[in-house]
Amino acid sequence: MQERIRNIAIIAHVDHGKTTLVDAMLKHAGVFRENEAITERVMDSNDLEKERGITILAKNLSVHHGRYKINIVDTPGHADFGGEVERVLKMVDSVLLLVDALDGPMPQTRFVLKKSLDLGLKPIVVINKIDRPGARADEVVDMVFDLFCELNANDEQLDFPIVYTSAKLGFAKLDLASESNSMEPLFAVIESNVHPPAGDSKAPFQLLVTNIDYNDYIGRIATGRIFNGSVKAGETVALVRRDGSVVRSRISKLLGYEGLKQVEIPEACTGDIVTVAGFDEVGIGETLAAADTPVALPYVSIDEPTIAMNFIVNSSPFAGKEGKFVTSRNIRDRLDKELRTNVSLRVEDTGNADTFKVSGRGELHLSILIENMRREGFEMAVSKPEVIMRELDGKKMEPMEYLVVDVPSEFQGSIIEKMGPRKGEMTSMQPMGETVRLEFIVPARGLIGLRGELLTETRGTAVMTHTFHDYAPYKGDIPGRKNGVLIAMENGETTAYSLDALQPRGILFIGPGVEVYGGMIIGQHAKDNDLDVNPCKGKKLTNVRASGSDDAIKLTPPRILTLEQALEFIDDDELVEVTPQSIRLRKKELDPNRRKRK
């Protein structure tokens, strides 16, 4: 059986078509019945993944093709979820590196490829979306080869096989000139180029846990790859923890994968990816081993977080009105639960019992956690994201990001101008038809709030992506937000009459008929200072009528901020109040007199 198993992960930059390729492979392998209703991007299982069209969690499945069993792991494309990719690469023997036939290699392509080359994996390059208008497959292959050379790939890795695909139309071919209407060429390349999993089937049992989950019926379940030996359902095995302690327990359920479904199996052998139930407490990176010879497996190190923010118990006048879970104990328990599965997250206590410092890979990583928590009924306030600095040889070091911006060539000047004050250094500038690709090395601090500015500057046409580059000496101060804010003076309900008078003062974030409280931010001021305003003032009714005072009120639609936009917008003395129904911005100090004193 070991000879017939192939373990592969699909890695790529966001939106290059990983999950769609998995769909096409499942259809070709006959996993779905003829009359079965198939959802698009079947691997994106939770609500947030479906809504945003991105993969957040790495997931595995298996397909049978001829005499081979192919275990496939679909991974996220965003740099913020790099922790998911890093731990998954330990489970597989090769990777499908997916590259868009028009965009070519992007920042995340470089990041995931470097990780897989460092582990000694030999990638198969898949050039996807060859049906796209403007596709330049041959040119992209050259760019991929240059990237391999840049990342110091060895000779064997440089001799990579190439497959051209259109995952959406469901075909693959080994040569652009040949005809094909199925994914068969891709399966043939996988079977001939991916070696069977290494490991000794006669040695004592060892399984490395790379994913954990919870099932209401069978409790905590651990997924991982069997590196040595075999295991049977009902057998007693040992769990070797990170600290070296050993716990023994019986395997209550042994589950394998058939397509997308988990099925009970009596036995599993070396090289297979399985799910095991029977341990109450099990963590990622721990080893399940034979009961009589418990030996731990080495675990891949995960990159450290680069951004932190404070999660604070909500203290606004509206606290507890919309959420179910509002206390510090509720928030702490939920963060502890998240730590079990989210390997690149860190949670620390602060001097204040109501505040927790949460560190992650980026704003998106942390905002997905906040979004999940508010959907579960949590209510809290979060502070502005801060970059985590390091001390090295007495020098202050800060994280740098590798940023790529694709813009129409008419806007390239204004983009370069924007990057100056943010301490960005341009490393490359390549024309791509009507657009230009600009590459920068920029401090992570300089990216906070940048996306909104670039979209405004380029009329919504800029596409920016970034990934962690390295730590470098501190670059000096970066100017923050230029504009002040409009702050409500008192509690009440906003009226169209007062908002109409405030419109010339700046951009409003709320419309009429909205409950506000003193200290809540209701808009962006046109000038650089904060302004206290009264948005709740009603019109005084009199018997006197005048031609000028009864004009119809015309309000500009307010700018409704999403969670990510709100986190980018706030300043050091402000918070985002997050509840299941609302996202509000507020000052940390609600009282205007105390605020002035501070």
- Binding-site residue ranges for GTP: 15-20, 128-131
* Helical (H) or strand (E) element with 18: helix 18-28
Nearest to 345 by CA among 332, 333, 359, 356: 359
Please give the DSSP secondary-structure letter assigned to residue 380: E
Nearest to 596 by CA among 538, 519, 508: 519
Q: Which parts are annotated binding residues?
A: 15-20, 128-131
Residue with tokens 């009603």: 538
50: left (phi over 0), alpha (psi -120 to 50) or beta: alpha
H and E: helices and strands count for the chain: 14, 35
Question: Within a 10 A sphere around the Cβ of 393, how many other Cβ atoms?
Answer: 5
d(CA 268, CA 271): 9
- Name the residue type at position 306: T
The torsion of the CA quartet 590, 582, 508, 539, rounded to 10 degrees, works out to -80
Q: Are 357 and 332 in contact, with CB atoms under 8 Å apart?
A: no
d(CA 467, CA 115): 13
First to last CA, the chain: 70
Q: Please state the φ and ψ torsions of residue 237, each to the nearest 5 degrees.
A: -130, 165
Residue 268, both tokens: 């599993």
Question: Within a 10 A sphere around the Cβ of 224, how many other Cβ atoms?
Answer: 26
- Name the residue type at position 253: K
d(CA 185, CA 164): 9
Sheet strands (E) in 444-588: 463-473, 485-488, 492-493, 506-508, 515-516, 520-525, 531-533, 574-578, 583-587
Do β-strands 380-383 and 395-408 pair in parallel, antiparallel, or remain unpaired?
unpaired
